[in-house]
Structure 1
Amino acid sequence: MSTITRRVIPMPPAAAKALVAGGGLAAAASTFIHWTWTSEFPGDLTVDGYPGGLQVLTLVAGLLTTLFALPLYGVKGTRWLSPAGPEAAALLMATATLATTWYTLIAISAELGGVANLEPGGYVAGLASLLPLIGALGLPHRSAAIGFPRLGGVVSQIRYGLTALNRLVGPRPDVPAVKPLNRWVEVLIIIGAAAVGLTVFTYGITTEYGELFSGFLILTALGAWTLVRSGLAGRLTAITARHRGTSTAAAFAAAAAFPFTQSDDHFATVGVNILIFATVALGLNVVVGLAGLLDLGYVAFLGVGAYAAALVSGSSSSPVGLHFPFWAAALTGMAAALVFGVVIGAPTLRLRGDYLAIVTLGFGEIFRIAVNSLDGISGPKVTNGPNGIRNIPDLDILGFNFGIEHTFGSFTLGRFANYFLLMLLFTGIVVVVFSRANDSRIGRAWVAIREDETAAQAMGINGFKLKLLAFALGASLAGLAGTVMAHVSYSVVPDPYQFAASVPPNSAFLVAAVVLGGMGTISGPLVGATLLYLIPEKLVFLKNYQLLFFGIALVLLMRLRPEGLIAGRRQQLEFHEDDESQEPAEPGEPVLTKAGA
């Protein structure tokens, strides 16, 4: 059955286009009218002529909706916005406008005690945000079997709805090949993309209350989906592939600029913790993403590196009493983690699948119990047991003290901003190691083992030796991150280094960051780790229910994008090989493919 073109809401094409473009402008204009009468709702939405708080998100969404509506009219120079077709992009941005606006109106009503707290501007915004969605549904879309499903079980209804939604906005876009632009134009595009990424990340990390961050998540999620479905993300990926060096330099320059945008050291604290979490996740990606080894005790290697560095960094509570320079402490942490990786991996890596996962989970628990017992009472005094190693001094490298503020012109970098830049350097090292390993002969052998270890061994690959190498390399990278983590937190205690601690990094969330972000890629674990750290940090009420919401998000993502948020070409082909031929079936009916059934 081939994909057909149809309109969900029949209407003249000119009217549909006008509703999309005009509705986006109307929604943006509504943010200049007050939405509520009291400033008790965060963001103060009582001011006319000046959008505030969540109104800013509706303003941005409305303007973007109008921008993505321009290709519908064939405006010269706007085709690059939607190289894969403008209809799906218009629909998704219209949905983003509606979602952010109605989320704000519902939040106002819920927190202030009813819809009576909405002023006329709120009602105008609610109606205006409906217009672009109605118009977008009146545009022709590539879909199949989109309609009202027959009554069936709840699971069948949900499955049908998700499949139909995915089909409504079109299959995985095939971006038309175009002639490359001028080299310097493409470089400017890369720099602009890095600047936009820095702006979005900075806005998200500096949100001061949960309602604003929730709205930010809604807009960024639908906005990212729009970029993918419009083909603009694919076009940008092609440009960055032609200029890998420039793209990498622009990304790290944008990350290095982050501390200079902050006046509150608290947000720099969040930033450095995200980098630590993301770097450890990238190290785990060597083990899980490339070699296909499910390691559920990986966070223990982070703890080994942190404890090893803390013991030799001059802490007043260290039983060792040594004070190495930082470079030596970092090498000590890496070496200790590498040794533990080899010692644990040598007898266990002959196991596969679930058996290996259980053994590594046991190693993580053994590590936590061991460091709790090495307190001088239950065992030798090495780690001080539950009290840990405290009073770890700040780093002083070449006269630069990381524990005090430093002023550069009009910019002031606090303690955590200093450590952010140091951790960014280590992240760069881990990225280089991962990319070199991935592109090497050893990396290809890891992928072969991940896909089919028996077949790889039949082709002459020494599976045990290469798996042990992956285990050792991943462990040493985690140990390197642990050396910085020990100095950032001033202390090392056993509690965080377990399978499911109350706060990341822990083994469960590290594995989740790799799987959700995209296994075998560089940016996937970085994005996954950022989201998994930032969401509980900003949405405090989720901390008691984070596993519940994490499970829901995991189910939805595995249904809509099983290859992860950012996936390589191999994963896309693996998970979407039959997308073009598969049609959404009514609940209770089999899925039809080109081969019949």
Structure 2
Amino acid sequence: MTVTTPTTETPAGVIPLPAAGARLTTLVGAVATFASTWLAWTWTDEFPGNLTVTGYPGGLQLLTLVGSLLVLAFTLSTQGVRGLRWLTPGGRNSAVRLLALGVFATTAFTVIAIAVELGGLANLEPGGWIALVASLILALGALGLPADVPAGEDPPANAWQKFVHSLKAPTAREAKELPSWAELLIIAGSFGLGLYAFTYGIDAEDGSPFLGYVIFIAFLAPAIGRAGLTKQLARLTGKHKNVTATAAFVAAFAFPFTQSSDQYASLGTNILIFATVALGLNVVVGLAGLLDLGYVAFLGVGAYTAALVSGAPSSPIGTTFPFWAAVLTGALASLVFGVVIGAPTLRLRGDYLAIVTLGFGEIFRIAMQNMDGTSGPDLTNGPNGIPSIPELEIFGFNFGEPHTILGVELGRFSNYFLLMLLFTAVVVMVFRRADQSRIGRAWVAIREDETAARAMGINGFRLKLLAFALGATLAGFAGTIQAHVTYTVTPTQYKFVEAVPPNSAFLLAAVILGGMGTVTGPLIGASLLYLIPNKLQFLADYQLFIFGVALILLMRFRPEGLIADRRKQLEFKETGQLDVPKGEEPGLTKVGV
């Protein structure tokens, strides 16, 4: 693999004067911004994070501090400083530019938030003004850096074109082969950093601290991708799949042990439920290409079934199954509903199938609401649902009581988090096996072109029904845990659109946002779509607007999703395979001997 280098008219080893000035400005701005985080930004500790202490950064100052250090390291890496070259294996100045803009955006947001929440710019200390000016100098210096332009392309004409160019795929660069132990260490360290970043975000206070965190991550993630680190990590994880799965499971397992209280462990538990259901929907939408808008109903089937057979006082069945039997019963009920609904409807395609599945979701909700003994049979207590679902107890381990594990006391939600993590691992294993099997390849063929798949001898209806049934079963599995976590199962939890996920609309958005047909994509998409609305409840009136804007930007700059498989990347990105070579006329290629 050859290294793609930016074009330049200056001799090799000579840095153009404007580029040298921009690089020096970037370095000075990074150092000044780093120093400003050690000063007080406001005089009162009423602003979250206590930004009043000189010599001790806190709150959003930590994000500015980390960002400025990363800009400094990335800038030195682009200059070939020994020991830092590995930071930019794929990209060059574009990664610095994105990081610098992220530092400025985070710092400017913090200054504005201080002024708005505390009642004016008078609440800013000199350190806040120094941080704003220093981060502005940093951003201006980074925007002046030359763009990374492959040979044969025209350079961007202005700063906006440079920014848009920074969001494109990084240039190719040959990776240096590392020892196996070093690769395994990198994988473990990456998941450790991911756990720390997730824990920092989930522990951030609602409002300004979390919104600043989102802004910072929104610039940091593409900057890391542009630098080429994401591509390098993907290569390592693809090479060591078993180690990657183990590291991911260990990192997730360690999450409850990082929490001092059970408050945010409940968020983690609900995120896992949402993510597991989204992964089940990914079988239907991502692999088989079936647009299902009523998928949340299968989650409800599993939840209602578990509530009816788990010994709830208001259950008319009046029986108590052991945990494993309740789980299997809920999954079996969802499987039956999947087959019953799918058999007569899967002969439809596209929008017609979407309308039918949407109708099924509404029929389920209305049916559960009417089974109150008056409008229908007395089975679900109507709109009141089934409350007081007892806690799970497995081999004498009561999930509703605190337990001490490895010297750390885990509360109720931490216990359910670990149980749900085990369920998620099972669903991931099922998805991976199905995706890599002959049936999985047949699903992809149906998704790409069902007519061509039928012509090749694939029984489209039977395989689509199998995908529908498998997806419903996985949702039923998650529903059995959700019933015990939430204590109560009501029809309003399973609408098409609801303020709090999971619901059909957000499940579908999680699959598309994360990346259809992948394992990690729906998990990441579901985590974002559940965490962000819960942490930004003060923006309740504008959440759908912000969500719509985010989707538009995603479709513009990342139509294949955050984590895309190779097929989607080839589908949405231009490969240039059919381009006519420059300087050649269309026709046969000349071959020289």
The equivalent position to 1:533 in structure 2, one of 530, 533, 537, is: 530
The equivalent position to 1:54 in structure 2, one of 57, 60, 78, is: 60
Cα 1:268–1:227 change in 2 (3 A) is same
Q: Does 2:314 correspond to 1:317?
A: yes
1:234 is matched with which residue? 231
Q: Does 2:114 correspond to 1:117?
A: no
The superposition leaves residues 503-545 of structure 1 with CA deviations (integer Å, 9 ceiling, x where unpaired) of 1000000000000110000111011000100011000123333
Cα 1:467–1:164 change in 2 (3 A) is farther
Shift of 1:12: 3.2
Cα 1:382–1:478 change in 2 (3 A) is same
Q: Does 2:274 correspond to 1:277?
A: yes
1:247 is matched with which residue? 244
- Give the stretch that moved more between structures: 287-296 or 402-411: 402-411
Structure 2 counterpart of 1:433, which letter? V
1:295 is matched with which residue? 292
1:166 is matched with which residue? 164
Contact 2:104 2:135 (C-alpha < 8 Å) held by counterparts: yes
Contact 2:147 2:156 (C-alpha < 8 Å) held by counterparts: no
Cα 1:76–1:247 change in 2 (3 A) is same
Shift of 1:175: 3.7
- Give the stretch that moved more between structures: 496-505 or 359-368: 496-505
After TM superposition, list the pairs within 5 Å mapping 1:360-439 onto structure 2: 360-439=357-436
1:522 is matched with which residue? 519
The equivalent position to 2:218 in structure 1, one of 218, 221, 238, is: 221
2:591 is matched with which residue? none
After TM superposition, list the pairs within 5 Å mapping 1:182-201 onto structure 2: 182-201=179-198
Contact 2:78 2:88 (C-alpha < 8 Å) held by counterparts: no
After TM superposition, list the pairs within 5 Å mapping 1:136-155 onto structure 2: 136-142=142-148, 144=154, 146-147=156-157
1:15 is matched with which residue? 21
Residue 567 of structure 1 aligns to a residue whose secondary structure is: coil
Contact 1:22 1:66 (C-alpha < 8 Å) held by counterparts: no
Cα 1:39–1:389 change in 2 (3 A) is same
Residue 495 of structure 1 aligns to a residue whose secondary structure is: helix
Structure 2 residues without counterparts, runs of 5 or longer: 10-15, 587-593
**Percent of pairs identical after alignment?**
63
Structure 1 residues without counterparts, runs of 5 or longer: 150-160, 583-593
Contact 2:167 2:222 (C-alpha < 8 Å) held by counterparts: no
Shift of 1:59: 0.7
Within 2, Cα distance between the matches of 1:145 and 1:437? 45
Structure 1 counterpart of 2:49, which letter? G
Contact 1:42 1:53 (C-alpha < 8 Å) held by counterparts: yes
2:136 is matched with which residue? 130
Shift of 1:118: 1.6
The superposition leaves residues 42-77 of structure 1 with CA deviations (integer Å, 9 ceiling, x where unpaired) of 222111111111111111111111111111321112
Shift of 1:134: 2.2
Cα 1:148–1:135 change in 2 (3 A) is closer
Shift of 1:331: 0.3
Within 2, Cα distance between the matches of 1:11 and 1:117? 41
In the alignment of these two chains, the number of paired residues is 570
Shift of 1:576: 0.6
1:576 is matched with which residue? 573
1:37 is matched with which residue? 43
Shift of 1:39: 2.1
Within 2, Cα distance between the matches of 1:290 and 1:164? 36
1:93 is matched with which residue? 99
The superposition leaves residues 422-474 of structure 1 with CA deviations (integer Å, 9 ceiling, x where unpaired) of 00000000000000000011111111111111111111111100000000000
Residue 314 of structure 2 aligns to a residue whose secondary structure is: coil
Cα 1:234–1:595 change in 2 (3 A) is farther
Within 2, Cα distance between the matches of 1:581 and 1:534? 43
Shift of 1:35: 1.0
The superposition leaves residues 388-424 of structure 1 with CA deviations (integer Å, 9 ceiling, x where unpaired) of 1111111110111101000124300000000000000
The equivalent position to 1:64 in structure 2, one of 59, 66, 70, is: 70
Residue 309 of structure 1 aligns to a residue whose secondary structure is: helix
Within 1, Cα distance between the matches of 2:167 and 2:364? 49
Cα 1:24–1:324 change in 2 (3 A) is same
Contact 2:201 2:210 (C-alpha < 8 Å) held by counterparts: yes
Within 2, Cα distance between the matches of 1:165 and 1:73? 21
Shift of 1:581: 10
Q: TM-score, normalised by structure 2?
A: 0.93
Within 2, Cα distance between the matches of 1:122 and 1:137? 23
Q: Compute the RMSD of aligned alpha carbons.
A: 2.2
The superposition leaves residues 84-128 of structure 1 with CA deviations (integer Å, 9 ceiling, x where unpaired) of 132111111111111111110111122222222222111110111
Q: TM-score, normalised by structure 1?
A: 0.92
Contact 2:507 2:526 (C-alpha < 8 Å) held by counterparts: yes
Contact 1:42 1:209 (C-alpha < 8 Å) held by counterparts: no
1:210 is matched with which residue? 207
Structure 2 counterpart of 1:271, which letter? G
Q: Which has the higher contact order (CA 8 A, sep 6+)?
A: 1
Q: Does 2:551 correspond to 1:554?
A: yes
After TM superposition, list the pairs within 5 Å mapping 1:489-508 onto structure 2: 489-508=486-505
Shift of 1:577: 1.9
Residue 135 of structure 1 aligns to a residue whose secondary structure is: helix
Residue 391 of structure 2 aligns to a residue whose secondary structure is: coil
Within 1, Cα distance between the matches of 2:76 and 2:418? 41
The superposition leaves residues 253-273 of structure 1 with CA deviations (integer Å, 9 ceiling, x where unpaired) of 000000011111110000000
Cα 1:145–1:174 change in 2 (3 A) is closer
